[in-house]
Amino acid sequence: MITYEEHRLRTLAEDGRWPELLGHYRRARALAVARDGEARAAAETAPLGHLIAYAAPPELAVRLFDHDGGPGTAAGPADHDAGPLWEVLATRHSWLRLAPLLGPAPVRRLVAHTRVLIGEDLSYGAEPDPEGIPLQLEPWESAGWGEGVRVREYLPDGGSRSALLTLPATREGLGPVLLPEPGGRLRGQRTTRTLAALADWVEVVCARGPAPQAATLLAPGRRITGGYLPFALVYPVLLQAGSVDRAHGSAQGRLAVWRALGAMAGAGGPHRSEVNALVARMRCFTWCDPEDGLRHLHVAVEDPASGLSWAVSGSDEL
């Protein structure tokens, strides 16, 4: 049932009275923060924030994240409805339009990486990323999927659409495999922690030896259906695992994967040259699990240079 207040707000939007809507958003958020705290206030006002981020002119929409309205009025990186409000904004306007307007550094960075995922090359049009993550897609980042599925598609009245990526996506190209005895499990690896941070429904282990030896530690048995595949097909699923929560956007998934690859390469950070060299030599092994839910991810990635492999495995019923 549409309430009178919702009807009034929609009428203001239809009439293009965006400053009034922004003022309403700020007042409602500040009151909710004072009453219920930051997290509940963000959830309560997010639908209106989505409307503003989606449909308002960019000059006004970026003010959702400005603190000039006073305490508790500004949306932050965690404010979300169908997805983060900054990602909604980033899908609506080019970096050329948004760059002169965006203020807060965390939001600005996430918007930039969202535009990169959409297909913009910002390597010469934006300030360098603080971690050195490139502001353009590497060939292996763009090879495994179509442009339309890298970022959620947002709808004007709320809600979003996104592809459901799984690994393996199909049994095609896979076959019967007898896994070897498990490799020696290594604990305390920084790469293990960064991969585990992608999603709370995956388990990550590190083993000394090739990818199948790491897979043995998490696979349902030693006789499985599996096979090798290029990292370009693994990357989209890892990225989506890191951004599937509605509070997270695809940019956060991309940053998380680059951090994991940087740690795997043994670099001081996710530097482009070291990560590209790692991806070029990496071997990836995937397998099926009869207990898989709608969302699943089973992959072991091997760095022949270090002799280490990491297995990432999990399933989520949605």
User: 239 and 184 share a domain?
Assistant: yes
Instruction: Using CA atoms of 164, 165, 168, 172 in order, give the dihedral in degrees to the nearest 10.
Output: 80
Q: Would you state the pLDDT for residue 33?
A: 93
Q: Would you state the pLDDT for residue 318?
A: 61
User: 99 and 184 share a domain?
Assistant: no
Q: Would you state the pLDDT for residue 3?
A: 57
Q: Average of pLDDT values for 134-139?
A: 96
Answer whether residue 170 is part of any domain. no
Question: Could you report the per-residue pLDDT of 282-294, keeping only the tens digit for each?
Answer: 999 999 999 888 8
Which residue bears the tokens 């305490």? Answer: 71
Answer whether residue 190 is part of any domain. yes
Domain count within the chain? 2
Among 161, 187, 212, where does a domain finish? 161
Q: Would you state the pLDDT for residue 271?
A: 87
Answer whether residue 167 is part of any domain. no
Residue 148 has pLDDT above 90, yes or no: no
Q: Would you state the pLDDT for residue 1?
A: 35
User: 138 and 272 share a domain?
Assistant: no
Tell me the residue range of the domain where 30 lies: 4-161
Residue 68 has pLDDT above 80, yes or no: yes
Mean pLDDT of the chain, nearest integer:
92
Q: Average of pLDDT values for 184-206?
A: 93
Among 135, 161, 187, where does a domain finish? 161
Question: Could you report the per-residue pLDDT of 236-262, keeping only the tens digit for each?
Answer: 999 999 998 888 999 999 999 999 999
User: 200 and 111 share a domain?
Assistant: no
Answer whether residue 169 is part of any domain. no
User: 93 and 179 share a domain?
Assistant: no
Answer whether residue 303 is part of any domain. yes
User: 109 and 19 share a domain?
Assistant: yes
